Amino acid sequence: MPLIDGLTSLWDRLLSAQPDPPQWLVLLTAAVALVVVATRLPWRIARNTITIAHEGGHALVALLTGRKLRGIRLHSDTSGLTLSAGRPSGPGMVLTLLAGYVAPSLVGLAGAWLLGGNRITLLLWVAVALLLAMLLLIRNVFGVVSLLVTGGVVLAVSWYASPQVQAAFAWTGVWFLLFGGVRPVAELQRMRTWGRMPESDADQLARLTPFPALFWVALFALVNLLALAVGAALLAGPVLNAAGLTG
């Protein structure tokens, strides 16, 4: 039947593995992502993607810990806010606050794992599905536009672009999440030092736990650096294989 054949073809396309990318693509996409993260204007534009992952992390953990999610707001200055209802203290609140700064790096690590198996199409479609799910929780116009644009770009690449373009897009995006997850932690501590973020996630965690805010900032940094190291090893697999550095 045409419908069954079409669904089978779609399923095969979703789960099939693409060939290993060329070495130059892996290295070039890493360099591009690093330049974006390290350069002021490109970072200012692309940082909204990190904010989406950050607020998505808060929202997901709030739901998983039984809190009632009120909504998510994304702002044009790349800040965001996730509102949830429930106990103002306890493990659920602690985990919800903890999730934000580590979410971009952990999402990047999950993406690196998929790309390590060359599941490029699956990665892009999972990204679209997550963005659509998050769209239902957005409570302001800028947030809606941000998610529609981001999801639309990912969907268009996954559906219309050539395999080479899909690979370049996917590798750049995952490298960006891994590198980009580290920078906001440094920015957080710098803003805290200047006294400009008294209600940061780290400071709220300090009020809810016996540990000072600096402990939580250090934990954010440690998790994100570990995710970067592991994710980079997964993404660099084709390069290491070509160089004969893996078994």
* Mean pLDDT over the full length of the chain: 90
The Cα 189–Cα 68 span in angstroms is 29
> What's the confidence (pLDDT) of residue 18?
74
> What's the confidence (pLDDT) of residue 111?
97
* Domain extents in the chain: 20-241
What are the Cα distances from residue 12, in Å, to 5, 16, 39, 121, 127?
Answer: 10, 6, 39, 10, 18
**Cβ atoms within 10 A of the Cβ of 54, count?**
26
Instruction: Decide: 133 and 29 in contact? Cβ < 8 Å.
Output: no
> What's the confidence (pLDDT) of residue 25?
93
Q: Which two tokens stand for residue 243?
A: 């160089």
Q: Which of 4-18, 51-65, 183-197 has the lowest mean pLDDT?
A: 4-18
Percent of the chain with pLDDT over 90: 77
What are the Cα distances from residue 151, in Å, to 37, 131, 187?
Answer: 21, 6, 27
> What's the confidence (pLDDT) of residue 234?
94
> pLDDT tens digits, residue range 2-38?
656 555 555 556 666 677 888 899 999 999 999 999 9
Tell me the average pLDDT across 94-103.
97
Q: Tell me the three state secondary structure of residue 84.
A: strand
